[in-house]
Amino acid sequence: MLLLVGCGSPPDGAEQDGPEQLAGSVLLPVPGDAQRAEVVRHVDGDTLVLRGQGPGPLPGVPTRVRLLQIDTPEVFGQQECWGPEASARTAHLLPIGAQVRVQVDVRPEDRYGRTLLLLWDQQGRSVQEVLVREGLARVLHVGPNDLALEELTGVERSARQERRGLWGSC
């Protein structure tokens, strides 16, 4: 596996939530039954700690969560190209204390015991969709889960064609 460190720069608008990001996340609306949760801590671009609020897949204690259907470049160990940018964007979208919404699919945990969830930020944007659209994440199918897989695959295809983020630099 080839790992590139320190390549690229954040995509245009990655440091702010401009109209492109707000309008860009429309394929995956927040489901009516999505659980509310609070952001407790960031780990990296696709892993964080949330505390569930009310009924749903997350308990009311801090729980390590992996964003379902995506994979962001690594920042621990040998840093991968666009890893720091992906982590920074996730932290920007999901500040500590932010109220978010989550939804579980068929298999609620990955092989490392992390809860697998689709996640929406305070503005109702799919975090997975934003990260893939901006070229900060790749689609990763963790079967049998397939919620949003088709939509995210289409978003990734567009990001690749337009050479956004890691698709233009790594």
Beta bridge partners of residue 51, listed in sequence order:
38, 62
Domains of the chain: 34-169 (2.40.50.90)
Cβ neighbors of 38 (< 8 A, separation 6 or more) are 50, 51, 53, 97, 98, 99, 100
The residue from 66, 89, 133, 164 that is catalytic is: 66
Active site residue 163: no
Q: The pTM is what? A: 0.85
Active site residue 66: yes
Asked if 107 and 115 touch (Cβ cutoff 8 Å), the reply is no
Average pLDDT per consecutive 10 residues, the chain (170 residues; last block may be shorter):
37 39 64 97 97 96 97 94 97 98 95 94 96 98 94 97 95
Cβ neighbors of 34 (< 8 A, separation 6 or more) are 56, 101, 102, 103, 120
pLDDT score for 27? 84
Active site residue 38: no
The residue from 114, 125, 138, 164 that is catalytic is: 114
pLDDT score for 26? 65
pLDDT score for 3? 35
pLDDT score for 5? 36
